[in-house]
Structure 1
Amino acid sequence: MEDKKKKKDEGSILPDEMILFILLLLPIKSLMRFRCVNKTWLQLLTNDSHFAQLYLNQLIKNNNLSLLALRKQEQTLVLHDETTLATIYSAVELRSSLVSSAIPLEVPFRSTTTNSNSNSSYYVYGICNGLVLVGLPKEKKKLFIWNPFTNDYIHIPYPPIPYHGFDSELCSDKGTNYLGFGFINNRYKVIRFCDCYSLPPYVGSNKHVSVYTLGVDSTWRNLEEIVYDDILTDCIPPLVNGALHWNASTDSNSDSETILSFDLKDEVFYEIPYPEYAGLNDQEIMYFNRIGELGGLLCMLGAAHSRENVEIWVMQQYGVANSWIKTFTIGRPEVRVSFTSCLRPVGVTQNREILLNDTGTGELILYNLETSSVINLRRQFGHHFYNAYTYTPCFISPRAITGGRHIM
């Protein structure tokens, strides 16, 4: 009798491979609750880097579009990203045109200079594989790598102020700091470049560059300086083909506009040209706006001065100038109006709906390519969102990346 009962019990236990397969199909919110089952499951769903990577790969394969959206505080609506206080507000799952309610995220670290009764404010410098690079604006010396779903985080050292001597150049901590966050060859890297100005009359366009590799570097490493008149850093740089990207210009001339690319593996900069447009007459001018990432490819928005359409161009073969293809055309006047502000592509849903974010007005626009209909998600959320980014919730632990060390 006991043998029959034992065989029955053994037969009711699923193989480990089957359990793993089932877990990979479940939403992350359900899996978070499973951490209370026993110590084995707690370990699997908290510190198992292999499972974390499998789950991340499954989410990317399924192309479930989620957002991490930032809402600016009412009293600090300014456009420049370095002086804008933004509240980390929501992770929103988009499935077709059904939009769930925005979910405020609890941030485990606080600014000691922020009133406890008010919303804390942060700079979000980068998002990669479900991890977020966050800085505290009122305490510039603190940076965090944070997993919003597991609430696990680490401190990383803030890059020091470059000093070149009194007779050469200087970089000020009050100058613009640009940070990017990316992943290549199982390494997470943070890049910082800041403006360096010659002593009087304080003009110049050199950018001091430094890099920090999580789990490897104990301090920031300096790279060769680059010379650019302007680099647009009001948005998180898209990560495509192992490189981070920014709109940039070598001088004040509009003909000098280019895409600045930083290769995370070799730690070098490259330039990628804008698309060449031959469909206009001599009186028309084609403008290109913010860059982004769609389906793993580099993309950017374009519009002719005299036309109402907004075009989305995609680079089909990375780094090849003539591989830019006009992939989508949006013929809605409200979208064209946003283009003159700071319109940027965010992502594409499984139902071929393009999500656009106007970082100037805080509009979130969902455009259906088949019906040419537009849904203003800001009205459904009830808030202006000045920065919205695709986000992949995951179990990757920042502590595991650095070997469990809490770096200060």
Structure 2
Amino acid sequence: MSSFPPELVVDILSWLAPEDLIRCMCVCKAWNAFIRGENFIKSHLQRSIQTNSTRSILLTSSDSVLFSLPFGGKETFGSAVKIVPALKDTWILRLGCTLEPLPPLVSGRSALYGFGYDSANADYNLVGVIEFYNSKNVIVSSRVELYSLKSNSWKSIQNMPCDGFKVYPICSRRLLFISGALCWLMHNNTNWLIILSLDLASEKYGQFSTPYVGNGRTYLLLDVLRGYLCFCVNYWSARHDVWIMKEYGVAESWTFLFSVEMKVLPMGFDLLCKPLVFSENGDMVLLTNDNGGIYWYDLEKKNFKRVEIHGEPSTYTATVCVGSLCLLDGDYVVAERQ
């Protein structure tokens, strides 16, 4: 390999999967140092995102156990492999300890959590938005807490803007990370649905509108699709519409993608149709739901085909992830297959 131009070696290595790169680290000290380098790790991640070369689907079972489902470029799936128990209970315990004592007259609280990366400070953050209620189920206070992995500490940051928003304003199930910010859905005092965002670097809030203009019985979902902010509107007993925001934060860039009629949903498929990815030629979209199950939906023929997965849990939620050499502590990754 010493006769190969260095730039060619770099290009070849950048196409490999993380587990193959870990094996390559044993070739020689020079390769080990290069693969562990920050520049290579970043460029490898960018190429993986652009080419979908290390794409997989993460399944979270109802008992909070994680499974990895390899997803090839030709719409082929491997077997679901159990990887590690989720740490949700540990995070909640740490949050609970941080947020005590509760304000007077408070009998309960609700919270949303979100995880993201602050590129300006090269730091991973966990954010909790907590609302406190009194015995009459009225919000008496709220708090926004941010955990910094770099400093290993929590701090309170500026609370959500309250002016112009209704009581019980949050209508998301989680805080969604995209473009350096966490986003979630809220209603203002005129019942208009908006997206509130928190930029992790500046810790400042922003807001922009959604393409939804109705006020009937719906189920709403905010997600990421193709690297864009994705907005799903489920009109119960009618259809499921999917939009993406072509330019983050610009409401005028909302673009309608597709619609699924409820009457064609497979038996057992609940009201949530979450899009995961599109097929290579764009004629199909991979959908999932909270009851478990992954389906290809043909956008032209308007029909479903269930994806048979070996080793999948009985019920789960699914999300798409990209394999990389990055670790939360900034060191190189050490991986092993079971």
TM interval, short-chain normalised: 0.7 to 0.9
CA shift digits 1:18-40 (9 cap, x unpaired): 21111001222322222332344
Give 1:328's match in structure 2, choosing from 245, 258, 268: 258
Residue identity matched to 2:329: R
Aligned residues: 323
Q: Does 1:388 align with 2:318?
A: yes
Deviation, structure 1 residue 265 = 2.4
Q: Distance in 1 between matches of 2:293 and 2:47?
A: 30
Give 1:225's match in structure 2, choosing from 152, 159, 165: 159
Q: Once the two structures are aligned, what percentage of the paired residues are identical?
A: 21
Give 1:21's match in structure 2, choosing from 11, 19, 40: 11
Q: Match of 1:71?
A: 61
Q: Distance in 2 between matches of 1:205 and 1:165?
A: 11
Q: Distance in 1 between matches of 2:153 and 2:107?
A: 18
Q: Distance in 1 between matches of 2:13 and 2:315?
A: 33
Q: Match of 2:99?
A: 162
Deviation, structure 1 residue 52 = 0.9
1:308-387 paired onto structure 2 within 5 Å: 309-331=239-261, 333-335=263-265, 341-352=271-282, 353-359=284-290, 361-377=291-307, 382-387=312-317
Residue identity matched to 1:262: L
Residue identity matched to 1:93: F
Q: Match of 2:128?
A: 192
Give the TM-score, by structure 2 length.
Answer: 0.79
Given that 2:81 and 2:311 are in contact with CA atoms closer than 8 Å, whether structure 1 keeps it comes out as: no
Q: Does 1:178 align with 2:167?
A: no
Q: Distance in 1 between matches of 2:148 and 2:67?
A: 28
Give 2:177's match in structure 1, choosing from 196, 221, 239: 239
Given that 1:177 and 1:194 are in contact with CA atoms closer than 8 Å, whether structure 2 keeps it comes out as: yes
Residue identity matched to 1:324: W
Given that 1:378 and 1:385 are in contact with CA atoms closer than 8 Å, whether structure 2 keeps it comes out as: no
Helix, strand or coil: the match of 1:41?
helix
Give 2:71's match in structure 1, choosing from 84, 93, 105: 93
Q: Match of 1:154?
A: none
Deviation, structure 1 residue 54 = 0.9
Deviation, structure 1 residue 347 = 2.7
Deviation, structure 1 residue 388 = 0.9
Q: Match of 1:273?
A: 209
Closer, same or farther: CA 201–312 of 1 in aligned 2, 3 Å: closer
Deviation, structure 1 residue 396 = 1.0
Given that 1:163 and 1:170 are in contact with CA atoms closer than 8 Å, whether structure 2 keeps it comes out as: no
Residue identity matched to 2:148: T
Q: Match of 1:37?
A: 27
Given that 2:169 and 2:187 are in contact with CA atoms closer than 8 Å, whether structure 1 keeps it comes out as: yes
Closer, same or farther: CA 169–38 of 1 in aligned 2, 3 Å: farther
Q: Does 1:292 align with 2:223?
A: yes
Q: Does 1:49 align with 2:38?
A: yes
1:68-147 paired onto structure 2 within 5 Å: 68-72=58-62, 85-105=63-83, 107=84, 121-122=85-86, 135-137=87-89, 140-141=92-93
Residue identity matched to 1:90: S
Q: Distance in 1 between matches of 2:301 and 2:18?
A: 32
Deviation, structure 1 residue 71 = 1.6
Closer, same or farther: CA 140–214 of 1 in aligned 2, 3 Å: closer
Give 1:263's match in structure 2, choosing from 199, 220, 228: 199
Deviation, structure 1 residue 264 = 1.9
Q: Distance in 2 between matches of 1:218 and 1:20?
A: 35
Residue identity matched to 1:25: W
Residue identity matched to 2:5: P
Q: Distance in 2 between matches of 1:391 and 1:315?
A: 20
Q: Distance in 1 between matches of 2:211 and 2:266?
A: 19
Q: Does 1:397 align with 2:327?
A: yes
Q: Which has the larger radius of gyration?
A: 1
Q: Distance in 2 between matches of 1:340 and 1:136?
A: 25
Given that 1:229 and 1:250 are in contact with CA atoms closer than 8 Å, whether structure 2 keeps it comes out as: no
Q: Match of 1:151?
A: none
Deviation, structure 1 residue 60 = 1.0
Q: Distance in 2 between matches of 1:136 and 1:305?
A: 31
Alpha-carbon RMSD across the aligned residues, in angstroms, is 3.5
Residue identity matched to 1:211: L
Q: Distance in 1 between matches of 2:317 and 2:192?
A: 27
Q: Match of 1:128?
A: none
Given that 1:179 and 1:191 are in contact with CA atoms closer than 8 Å, whether structure 2 keeps it comes out as: yes
Q: Distance in 2 between matches of 1:201 and 1:286?
A: 25
Indicate the structure with greater strand content: 2
Deviation, structure 1 residue 358 = 0.8
Given that 1:242 and 1:264 are in contact with CA atoms closer than 8 Å, whether structure 2 keeps it comes out as: yes
Helix, strand or coil: the match of 2:23?
helix
Given that 1:159 and 1:220 are in contact with CA atoms closer than 8 Å, whether structure 2 keeps it comes out as: no
Give the TM-score, by structure 1 length.
Answer: 0.67
